[in-house]
Each structure stands twice: as C-alpha cells, then as structure tokens.
Amino acid sequence: MPKVRLDTLVQQRIECSLSKAQGLIQTGKVRTSDGTPLRTAGESVDDEIELSIDEGSKYVSRGGQKLEAGIEKFPFSVKGQVAIDVGASTGGFTDCLLQNGARKVYAVDVGYGQLDWKLRQDPRVVVMERTNIRNVTPDDLDEIPAVFVADCSFISLKLVVRALVPLLAEQAEGIVLIKPQFEARKNQVGEGGVIRDPEIHREVIENVSNEAVTLGFSIVDVIPSPIEGPAGNKEFLACLKRGG
C-alpha cells in the first residue's frame, strides 16, 4: 500500500493549507480509527488509513460549508430523504446532508479509508468505498435516492450525472459542485491546474448544464461556491431537478 506524509494526507483530505494540516496534527486533532492521536507531521502512513480529523468546524470537512451554501440558497430540502453522495471523500457533503435531516446517505467514493470515523459509525450512512459511480446499479441500493449531491475530482461531472440517471427517483433533485479545472479542455487549464478566465467558467457551466438538460434535468440555479478549491480555483454549485 502506498505511503504518504501524514501532513500531506491531512491537507488532501480536508482541502486545507499545509500549515493548517501540520497545526491540527501537532495539537492532537488527527486520530486513528481507535482514537490514537498522530502527532508527527512527517510520519509516513498508508494513503488509505482511516483518520478522524477535528477541524473545530461544523462539518468534518469544508465541503460541508460548500453544500450548506447551496441548501440555504436553493429551494432544496433533504429532511427525511434518502440521498446519494458521489465523491464522498472525508464526508463533508454527507455530514451536511445528515445535519439537515437526511434519513439515509449512500456515501460513494473510488477511494478507501477517507470517510471520517464519525460518519462510518453513523447508522444512517451506507459506506460504498472503492466504488465508481459508473459501476453502481439500482440493485446495489436498497432504497431509491430522491436527493443527490456530487463533489468529484479527475472526472467530468457530465459522466457522473449520466451515471446517476438510472439510480434516482423520478422527481429527484440535487446539488452538484462544478469544478472547471476538470471540465475544461487541456489547453484552457492554466499553470498549476488553475482556471481564472471567467469566459471559460461560463463555457464549462453551460456545457454541464446542457448535458444535464439532455439527461432530463432542469437547471434551477447556479451560484459560485463560497469557498474556492485548491490553488484558488473557482467552483460553482448547481441545483438540478429531474423531470422539472
């Protein structure tokens, strides 16, 4: 199993600065699944190690703050609903869904060991690790999700939405995070993987929206994410409604 520095892994898991990751480690905020604190930033650990990271924030990662902004802005309710979270990672979106009343969340991610321990222990969470959403079938879900969210990297959101179609309820609604750096053409992506041109942002949003409409969704609204992605990339939250 590949090894990685602990501070680098924490930085990746919660999308924070390296200095913040090191501070969390040094103050005992990073623990193994059995509660043992890891205090050496340069320690080599398995890249799939299960960690509990206490950021001192409302959600297990800042992804929760992104989704919260969409829930507050859009006409969107998850209370009592079954949801699916694609690209769950540490679980920021999953945590936000639960705190807003979701009855069950399928937490889907191609990785392993990333989901926060608090969420792993929650009976409302169905952990689907090492799982590509394009390989999930309706038979894999014991209930049909009426709510969907997605925060994915290194894959086009258009492919994710297409994969969700056979899994969702007829009137499903969702919030997806559009990341231009993973949607734009290679020649549109700047140094360090950053896209700063607002025209490219608009083009990406239009392309994703058009694909969603083709797949039977209406676009309720699109807003900028209140938190930028790594390296300062602008991201956008889109609210989609199926059959709308």
Lowest-pLDDT range, 59-73, 108-122, 182-196?
Answer: 182-196
What is the structure's pLDDT at 244? 61
Look over the chain and give the mean of its residue pLDDT values, rounded to a whole number.
Answer: 91
- The CA-to-CA distance between both ends of the chain, in Å, stands at 45
The C-alpha atoms of residue 172 and residue 176 are separated, in whole angstroms, by 13
Round to whole Å and give the CA distance between 46 and 6: 9
**Order of strands, edge to edge, in the sheet holding 217-224?**
125-128, 104-108, 82-86, 147-150, 173-178, 236-242, 217-224
| pLDDT greater than 80 at residue 62 | yes
Please report which confidence band the pLDDT of residue 85 belongs to, taking 50, 70 and 90 as the band edges: very high
The predicted structure's pLDDT at residue 178: 94
Segment 51-67 mean pLDDT = 85
Per-residue pLDDT of 192-208, as tens digits, reads: 778 788 889 999 999 99
Q: How confident is the model at residue 27 (pLDDT cuts 50, 70, 90)?
A: confident
Q: Which of 59-73, 155-169, 177-191, 212-226 has the lowest mean pLDDT?
A: 177-191
* CATH code reported for the domain at 63-242: 3.40.50.150
CATH 3.40.50.150 intervals, the chain:
63-242
Residue 186 has pLDDT above 90, yes or no: no
Task: Give the model's confidence band at 73: pLDDT under 50 very low, under 70 low, under 90 confident, else very high.
Answer: very high
Domain range 3-53, CATH class? alpha beta
Q: What average pLDDT does this structure show over 39-64? A: 87
Give the pLDDT score at 190: 66
